[in-house]
């Protein structure tokens, strides 16, 4: 597992044949370093996912980590959930991520049961869910598929359940959007990424990570039936929202 703590240098060299970003073995090896140096507030969000799961996990229910990568949210939840007979279902469609996540979980001593699935979220059945975490995952799903996924999640949730939705944001005001992009790039620069790395990563993600505005997210969540939808964390163009299935 030591190689999961390598430094991310994937885009350090000029590459004229830059392909689209994929979650392969190379990314898995550097993922913890990559996400912490690229997503402002990531560690805080993970920590709070644990606290939210502690508060909202219901007994005999499931807590879903959708797009689990190496299981950071799963581990945070696993160590905070106290509800009786609550379990965690962690899903990712990258075989490399799931293989490494399995090793991470095997080395963890948490007692809450975790089911791990290598699966596209389109195929995932959501049932008896009291907590659903989409931590920087929806942004990788085709926009045309997002309504269906959010509706499916809502249908599979228990009354009083919470959805934690973290996303990179787009802002409709061009000036503000540009400012947030610049501040995010400066954050990456202060974390040791070069201008070349920032530029190459940006083009590799161009058609892969498609950010939407907070209003688009709020509207989609409301259309699906969620209530109480609000941003609880934001740093530049990265935010996390809470949305609830109404209590009976
Ligand atoms: C964390 N939540 O550490 N089905 C299943 N998984 C998918 C799909 C899909 N259709 N599309 C993308 N993924 C994690 C971080 S990373 C965010 C999430 C990032 C998976 C993909 O394989 C990757 O592991 C994850 O979603 C997105 O809190 O790298 O910016």
pTM, rounded to two decimals:
0.96
Pick the atom of ligand 1 nearest to 45's CA. 28
C-alpha 189/C-alpha 68 separation (Å) is: 26
Confidence grade of residue 1 (pLDDT, cut at 50, 70, 90): very low
C-alpha 202/C-alpha 184 separation (Å) is: 11
User: Which residue matches tokens 């598929």?
Assistant: 145
% of the chain surpassing 70 pLDDT: 98
List CB contacts of 100: < 8 A, sequence separation 6 or more.
1, 4, 28, 31, 70
* Mean pLDDT of all residues in 141-146: 97
C-alpha 89/C-alpha 114 separation (Å) is: 6
CA atoms within a 13 Å half-sphere pointing along the CA-CB vector of 179: 8
Q: Which residue among 47, 140, 150 has the greatest number of ligand 1 atoms within 8 angstroms of its CB, and so is best to mutate?
A: 140
Residue 16 confidence (pLDDT): 77
Pick the atom of ligand 1 nearest to 69's CA. 24
Confidence grade of residue 9 (pLDDT, cut at 50, 70, 90): confident
| pLDDT exceeds cutoff 90 at 160 | yes
C-alpha 203/C-alpha 21 separation (Å) is: 9
Q: Which residue among 4, 30, 48, 67 has the greatest number of ligand 1 atoms within 8 angstroms of its CB, and so is best to mutate?
A: 67
Residue 22 confidence (pLDDT): 79
User: For the ranges 15-19, 187-191, 230-234, which has the lowest average pLDDT?
Assistant: 15-19
**How many angstroms separate the alpha carbon of residue 136 from the centre of ligand 1?**
7
Distance of CA 116 to the CA centre of its chain: 16
C-alpha 29/C-alpha 8 separation (Å) is: 8
| pLDDT exceeds cutoff 80 at 2 | no
Residue 204 confidence (pLDDT): 83
For helices 174-190 and 195-205, give the axis angle rounded to 10 degrees: 130
Query: Residues 153, 71, 41, 160: is their CA dihedral positive or negative?
Result: positive
């Amino acid at each position: 597992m030591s190689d999961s703590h390598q430094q991310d240098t994937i885009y350090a060299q000029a590459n004229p044949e830059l392909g689209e970003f994929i979650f392969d073995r190379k990314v898995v090896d550097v993922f913890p370093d990559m996400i912490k140096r690229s997503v402002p507030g990531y560690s805080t969000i993970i920590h709070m996912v644990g606290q939210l799961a502690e508060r909202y996990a219901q007994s005999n229910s499931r807590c879903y980590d959708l797009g689990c990568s190496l299981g950071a949210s799963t581990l945070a939840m696993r160590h905070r959930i106290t509800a009786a007979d609550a379990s965690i279902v962690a899903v990712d469609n990258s075989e490399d991520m799931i293989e490494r996540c399995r090793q991470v979980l095997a080395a963890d001593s948490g007692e809450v049961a975790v089911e791990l699935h290598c699966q596209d979220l389109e195929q995932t059945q959501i049932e008896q869910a009291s907590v659903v975490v989409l931590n920087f995952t929806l942004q990788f799903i085709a926009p045309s598929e997002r309504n269906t996924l959010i509706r499916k999640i809502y249908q599979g949730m228990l009354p009083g359940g919470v959805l934690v939705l973290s996303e990179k944001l787009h802002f409709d005001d061009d000036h503000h959007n540009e400012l947030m992009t610049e501040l995010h790039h400066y954050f990456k620069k202060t974390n040791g990424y070069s201008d070349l790395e920032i530029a190459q990563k940006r083009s590799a993600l161009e058609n892969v990570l498609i950010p939407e505005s907070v209003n688009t997210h709020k509207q989609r969540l409301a259309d699906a039936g969620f209530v109480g939808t609000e941003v609880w964390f934001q740093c530049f163009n990265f935010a996390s929202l809470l949305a609830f299935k109404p209590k009976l």
